[in-house]
Structure 1
Amino acid sequence: MSALNVCPQPLQKVLAETPKDQPVVMLDLKRFADDKRRSRYPERTAPPSVQTDIQKAADCVKTVGAEVVWWGSGCEALIAPPDDPSDQVVLVRYPSIAAYMAMIEQPAL
């Protein structure tokens, strides 16, 4: 699994605006299929190698006290461009923004 690529400017804004003592829920939109693969697997399930990586990521967030709240198949977005659907959606609840920072600063899985 490749390392997380967090954009510095938006991250700085989130860090400045997020209360330090409150839980944070992050939305992760995953896309691991091109249109050709998607036509073969319309249910948008991750291939086994990606499923393994997602499980490693779920284990990783536990190390900072976070939990996966919801993990499921994506669908066409209601208020986004229709040509960029997500294959899976993950919601992760972190106990604080500091816990989120600790998770993204971990070495790549």
Structure 2
Amino acid sequence: MTRTVDPSGHDLKRLATEVPQNVPVVMLNLLKFREAAAYPPGHEEAGGSGRDAYATYSRLIVPMLRRAEGTPLWRAQARSAFIAPAGEEWDEVLLVRYPSIGAFIGMVTSPDYQAITVHRSAALQDSRLIATTPEMPGALTPLPGS
């Protein structure tokens, strides 16, 4: 299984071209925490768990989310990967809504955001970040027969 935590410039360019520009986007975050945070040598916050490092990242991102008009929608503990490749397990699931993919990209490329990514990188053993849009007809209505 390929472990992924930090995006590349190529990833951001692909995101900007694949996601429609003028619709709200909800980012699906799948998070797997490190047992012990993995800060770079000499970092003043070395020590603590991956969850501790992610809590620091979460606290610091709040003002940036507000500026980007981002809204956390849902956060939950992942219990069991029912349909997934063997060994793929997640600790937490998080949904965050942005008014557009441009608002999200603007936030994650800002110098303020870049300064706090050390906490996210130290926290996570693995992650997935999936952009979703409400483009499916009937996406917010029950499926037939439900």
TM above 0.5, yes or no, is yes
> 1:70 and 2:74 equivalent?
yes
Give the C-alpha shift of residue 52 in structure 1: 3.0
Does structure 1 conserve the Cα–Cα contact (< 8 Å) formed by 2:34 and 2:51? no
What RMSD over aligned residues (CA atoms) do the two structures have, in Å? Answer: 2.3
Identity score, percent:
29
Task: Say how many residue pairs are matched.
Answer: 95
> 1:108 and 2:115 equivalent?
yes
Mark the structure with the bigger radius of gyration: 2
Residue equivalent to 1:55: 59
Does structure 2 conserve the Cα–Cα contact (< 8 Å) formed by 1:29 and 1:88? yes
TM-score (norm 2): 0.55
Residue equivalent to 1:83: 87
Give the C-alpha shift of residue 87 in structure 1: 1.1
Q: Compare 69-78 and 18-27 and name the one that shifted more.
A: 69-78
How far, CA to CA, are the matches of 1:47 and 1:11 in structure 2? 26
Over 3 Å counting, the alpha-carbon distance change for 1:51 and 1:23 in structure 2 is same
Over 3 Å counting, the alpha-carbon distance change for 1:76 and 1:98 in structure 2 is same
Over 3 Å counting, the alpha-carbon distance change for 1:58 and 1:74 in structure 2 is farther
5+ unaligned residues in a row in structure 2: which ranges?
36-49, 117-146
Residue equivalent to 1:25: 26
How far, CA to CA, are the matches of 1:57 and 1:76 in structure 2? 28
5+ unaligned residues in a row in structure 1: which ranges?
35-45
Deviations 1:24-81 (A, max 9, x none): 11111111134xxxxxxxxxxx744432322323443222111111112122223222
TM-score (norm 1): 0.70
